[in-house]
Structure 1
Amino acid sequence: MHVARDIFGTVGEIGVHHGWFFAVLASCARSCDSLFACDIFGDGSLNVDCKGNGGLEHFLTNAANAGVNGRINVFDTASVFLLEQCDLPSIRMLSKDGGHTQTLTYNDLLSASRVLSEGGVIFIDDFLNTGWCGVQRGFSAFLVNHHQGRLILF
């Protein structure tokens, strides 16, 4: 769809853990697309919902095995700092698998929607996982407060 519509932009993931889904996303990126990975690899105190404890070394090894290691902008920080403060080109594909609380999900979606390119896609992990109901609540709050018809749900 993006190639046919000539849509370009950043491809990345919030909450990459060991990078398995990131490798899939990166395989969809074209050589001109920027890649980014964001996780709180080094500061466990920021992991407020204790979901995953990814290691940077594991992630980089898996990214190298997928053939994309040299192209990735890695951000070892909380997503709240990433989308608002970093100078990323518009995002065309984003996986949101970071914090699974209502607040973190809401904030990630709000920030991502501000930099999402026309025709861009946001994947939301654990949406139907009953162990992480904050994801659904954060998504629902985002739709109620900020959707305004811009996003198409599928």
Structure 2
Amino acid sequence: MKYLRYIFWTLLTVITGCSVVVEEGNDASESNTITFENVFPNSLIDANTYLLGGGNRTWTTVAFTIEGVNGFQNCRLDDEIRLNEDNTYAYDGGTMLCGAEDNQKIKSGTWEIDAPSRTLTFDKGLDHESIMYIESLTSEEIVVSSHYYSWKVVGKFTHD
């Protein structure tokens, strides 16, 4: 029973914590799909170059979806993550936090990329480790996916 209450409150927090934004020109049934090319650099050196741009690079969320929820989650659209050459990161959750685990505006830690498996891991070995599959990585954008409980989550990021 305690577990069911936990699931209920988690669902309630996720669903009410983020309102849905429908992209202009799309109806709600189509707006939960992020479009991208399935591309990945040929080498780890190229992947790091794309991620860091020859220095430190800040990536801004431009789209974020949760499987089964129509529309983009606007509480993520002001999020930024700065990846540093020393494999540390600084995450800024923006002014609109989504709730649940997204309860801190600023987070920091370490990151690493594994090119053969196309994964980006944050805070490896810690209890809050997060592994993202890199759906696409170009010099202009990165699209990553993961799972939140059983829901697939996809985020698309660009930089200036």
TM-score with structure 2 setting the length: 0.28
Task: Point out the structure with the larger strand share.
Answer: 2
Task: Point out the structure with the larger helix share.
Answer: 1
TM-score with structure 1 setting the length: 0.28
Structure having the higher Rg: 2
